[in-house]
Amino acid sequence: MAHHSEESQVTVLPPDKEKIKKLWTVAGILGAVTAVEFVIAFTMSHGSAKTAIFVILTIVKAGYIVGEFMHLRYEVKVLFWAILIPTLFIIWMLVAFVYEGMQMPVF
């Protein structure tokens, strides 16, 4: 592809070291939380306490992915809440359906 004159005018800025370092920190946190989940999976017996820990750790991971990687934390407030508030319906749906499931045993 031929190079246009306007292409040569593009000024490339140097890497933002601080920002990149922060991204790798977030990646490290995600990896560490997954490692903790692994340890818990094989050291705790199955039960509601274990499930609760998994749910909390998953929400922590989701928070970092959506907040930092998807940059939602830094968007304007109205966008932040427009995305976050509707997900409350998911929690309602989860509670209602799992409760329903416990009330209708298959066997």
Partner 1 sequence: MSHSSAATVSEKSLWDGGASPMGASYGKLMMWFFLLSDAFTFSGLLITYGLVRASHPAFEGLPDAFVFSTEYWPVPEKVFEAVPFLHGYSLPLVFVGIMTFILIMSSVTMVLAVEAGHRMDRKAVEKWMLWTIIGGLTFLGCQAWEWTYFIVGTDTPTIVKDFVNGQWITKEVTGASLKINQYGPQPFADFFFFITGFHGFHVFSGVMFNFLIYYNTVTGVYERRGHYEMVEKVGLYWHFVDLVWVFVFTFFYLV
Asked whether position 18 contacts partner 1 by CB under 8 A, the answer is no
Tell me the two tokens of residue 13: 């800025």
Question: What is d(CA 11, CA 9) in angstroms, rounded to the nearest whole number?
Answer: 6
**Which burial class, exposed, middle or buried, applies to 61 when counting CB atoms under 10 A from its CB (0-12, 13-18, 19+)?**
middle
User: Which parts of 69-98 interact with partner 1 (CB under 8 A)?
Assistant: 69-70, 75-76, 78-79, 82-83, 86-87, 89-90, 93-94, 97-98
3-state secondary structure of 9: helix
Asked whether position 23 contacts partner 1 by CB under 8 A, the answer is yes
Asked whether position 36 contacts partner 1 by CB under 8 A, the answer is no
- Alpha helix segments (H runs only) across 1-107: 17-43, 48-64, 77-84, 88-103
Asked whether position 44 contacts partner 1 by CB under 8 A, the answer is no
Are the C-beta atoms of residues 26 and 66 closer than 8 Å to each other?
Answer: no
Q: Which residues bind partner 1 (CB under 8 A)?
A: 1, 4, 6-7, 10-16, 19-20, 23-24, 27, 30-31, 34, 37-38, 41-42, 46, 50-51, 54-55, 57-58, 61-62, 65-66, 69-70, 75-76, 78-79, 82-83, 86-87, 89-90, 93-94, 97-98, 100-102, 104-107
